[in-house]
Amino acid sequence: MQVQTIATSAFTDQKPGTSGLRKRVPVFQQAHYLENFVQSIFDTIAAPAGATLVVGGDGRYYNREAIQIILKMAAANGFGRVLVGQGGILSTPAASCVIRKYQTFGGIILSASHNPGGPEGDFGIKYNGNNGGPATETVTEAIFARSKQIDTYRIIEAADVALDTLGESQLGGMTVSIIDSVADYAELMESLFDFDAIQAMLAGGFRIKFDAMHAVTGPYAREILVNRLGAPADSVMNAVPLPDFGNGHPDPNLTYAHELVEIVYGDNAPDFGAASDGDGDRNMILGKGFFVTPSDSLALLAANATLAPGYRQGLAGIARSMPTSAAADRVAEALGIPCYETPTGWKFFGNLMDAGKVTLCGEESFGTGSNHVREKDGLWAVLFWLNVVAARKQSVEAIVREHWAKFGRNVYSRHDYEGLPTDAANGIMVLLKAGFATLSGKQFGSYTVKLADDFSYTDPVDGSVSTGQGVRILFEDGSRIVFRLSGTGTEGATLRIYLESFEPDVGKHHLDAQDALAELIGIALQLTELRQRTGREAPTVIT
Residues marked as catalytic: 113
Which residue lies nearer to ligand G1P by CB, 351 or 387? 351
Q: Is 277 in the site for Zn ion (CB under 5 A)?
A: yes
Tell the smallest beta-carbon distance from residue 218 to ligand G1P (Å): 19
Q: How far is 286 from 338, CA to CA, in rounded Å? A: 28
Q: How far is 219 from 183, CA to CA, in rounded Å? A: 10
Are 178 and 29 in contact by the 8 Å Cβ rule? The answer is: no
Diameter of the chain measured on Cα atoms: 73
Instruction: Single out the residue of 279, 363, 364, 377 in contact with Zn ion (rule: CB under 5 A).
Output: 279
Q: Is 496 in the site for ligand G1P (CB under 6 A)?
A: yes
Q: Is 19 in the site for Zn ion (CB under 5 A)?
A: no
Instruction: Please state the φ and ψ torsions of residue 328, each to the nearest 5 degrees.
Output: -70, -30
- Report which DSSP code applies to 149: T
Q: Is 416 in the site for ligand G1P (CB under 6 A)?
A: no
Tell the smallest beta-carbon distance from residue 517 to ligand G1P (Å): 19
> CB neighbours of 187 closer than 8 A, spacing ≥ 6?
none
Binders in 280-299 for Zn ion, by CB under 5 A: 281-282
Which residue lies nearer to ligand G1P by CB, 85 or 367? 367
Query: From Zn ion, ligand G1P, none, which one binds at residue 136 (CB under 5 to 8 Å depending on kind)?
Result: none
Query: From ligand G1P, Zn ion, none, which one binds at residue 416 (CB under 5 to 8 Å depending on kind)?
Result: none
For 261, 348, 423, 457, 467, the CA distances from 482, given in Å and listed in that order, are 27, 19, 20, 15, 15
Q: How far is 341 from 362, CA to CA, in rounded Å? A: 10
What mask of x and - would describe binding to Zn ion in positions 93 to 132, judged by CB under 5 A? Answer: --------------------x-------------------
Q: Which stretch binds Zn ion (CB under 5 A): 6-14, 180-188, 277-285, 454-462?
A: 277-285
Q: Is 128 in the site for ligand G1P (CB under 6 A)?
A: no
Helical axes 327-335 vs 396-407, angle rounded to 10°? 70
Count CB-CB contacts under 10 A for residue 85.
27
197 sits in which H/E element: helix 195-203
Query: From Zn ion, ligand G1P, none, which one binds at residue 146 (CB under 5 to 8 Å depending on kind)?
Result: none
Tell the smallest beta-carbon distance from residue 229 to ligand G1P (Å): 27
Q: How far is 105 from 109, CA to CA, in rounded Å? A: 14
Are 174 and 167 in contact by the 8 Å Cβ rule? The answer is: no
What mask of x and - would describe binding to ligand G1P in positions 373 to 412, judged by CB under 6 A? Answer: ----------------------------------------
Tell the smallest beta-carbon distance from residue 365 to ligand G1P (Å): 3
What mask of x and - would describe binding to ligand G1P in positions 301 to 330, judged by CB under 6 A? Answer: --------------------x---------
Which residue lies nearer to ligand G1P by CB, 58 or 363? 363
Q: How far is 75 from 98, CA to CA, in rounded Å? A: 20
Which residue lies nearer to ligand G1P by CB, 39 or 113? 113
For 49, 254, 256, the CA distances from 248, given in Å and listed in that order, are 42, 14, 8
Tell the smallest beta-carbon distance from residue 344 to ligand G1P (Å): 5
List, in sequence order, every residue forming a beta bridge with 367; answer none if it has no partner: 282, 363
Q: Is 372 in the site for ligand G1P (CB under 6 A)?
A: no
Question: How buried is residue 487: exposed, middle or buried, by Cβ count under 10 Å (0-12/13-18/19+)?
Answer: middle
Which residue lies nearer to ligand G1P by CB, 235 or 365? 365
383 sits in which H/E element: helix 378-392
Instruction: Single out the residue of 346, 348, 404, 475 in contact with ligand G1P (rule: CB under 6 A).
Output: 346
Instruction: Single out the residue of 39, 113, 147, 253 in contact with ligand G1P (rule: CB under 6 A).
Output: 113
List, in sequence order, every residue forming a beta bridge with 123; answer none if it has no partner: 23
Count CB-CB contacts under 10 A for residue 162.
10
> CB neighbours of 83 closer than 8 A, spacing ≥ 6?
52, 53, 54, 55, 98, 102, 104, 177, 179
Q: Is 19 in the site for ligand G1P (CB under 6 A)?
A: yes
Helix, strand, coil percentages for the chain (3-state, nearest 5): 35, 25, 35
Q: Is 365 in the site for ligand G1P (CB under 6 A)?
A: yes
Instruction: Single out the residue of 343, 345, 350, 378 in contact with ligand G1P (rule: CB under 6 A).
Output: 345
Query: From Zn ion, ligand G1P, none, which one binds at residue 488 (CB under 5 to 8 Å depending on kind)?
Result: ligand G1P
Which residue lies nearer to ligand G1P by CB, 321 or 501? 321
What mask of x and - would describe binding to Zn ion in positions 476 to 515, judged by CB under 5 A? Answer: ----------------------------------------
Query: From ligand G1P, Zn ion, none, which one binds at residue 19 (CB under 5 to 8 Å depending on kind)?
Result: ligand G1P
> CB neighbours of 85 closer than 8 A, spacing ≥ 6?
56, 94, 95, 98, 178, 179, 181
Closest CA to 342 of 465, 219, 226, 238: 465
Query: From Zn ion, ligand G1P, none, which one binds at residue 253 (CB under 5 to 8 Å depending on kind)?
Result: none
Instruction: Single out the residue of 194, 363, 375, 377 in contact with ligand G1P (rule: CB under 6 A).
Output: 363
Closest CA to 321 of 19, 8, 11, 3: 19
Tell the smallest beta-carbon distance from residue 142 to ligand G1P (Å): 20
Q: Is 375 in the site for Zn ion (CB under 5 A)?
A: no
Tell the smallest beta-carbon distance from residue 374 to Zn ion (Å): 14
DSSP string, 287-331: ETTEEE-HHHHHHHHHHHGGGSGGGTT--S-EEEETTS-THHHHH
Query: From ligand G1P, Zn ion, none, which one binds at residue 279 (CB under 5 to 8 Å depending on kind)?
Result: Zn ion
Q: Compute how many residues bind ligand G1P; rule: CB under 6 A.
A: 14
Residues that bind ligand G1P (CB under 6 A): 18-19, 113, 321, 344-346, 363, 365, 367, 486-488, 496
Residues that bind Zn ion (CB under 5 A): 113, 277, 279, 281-282
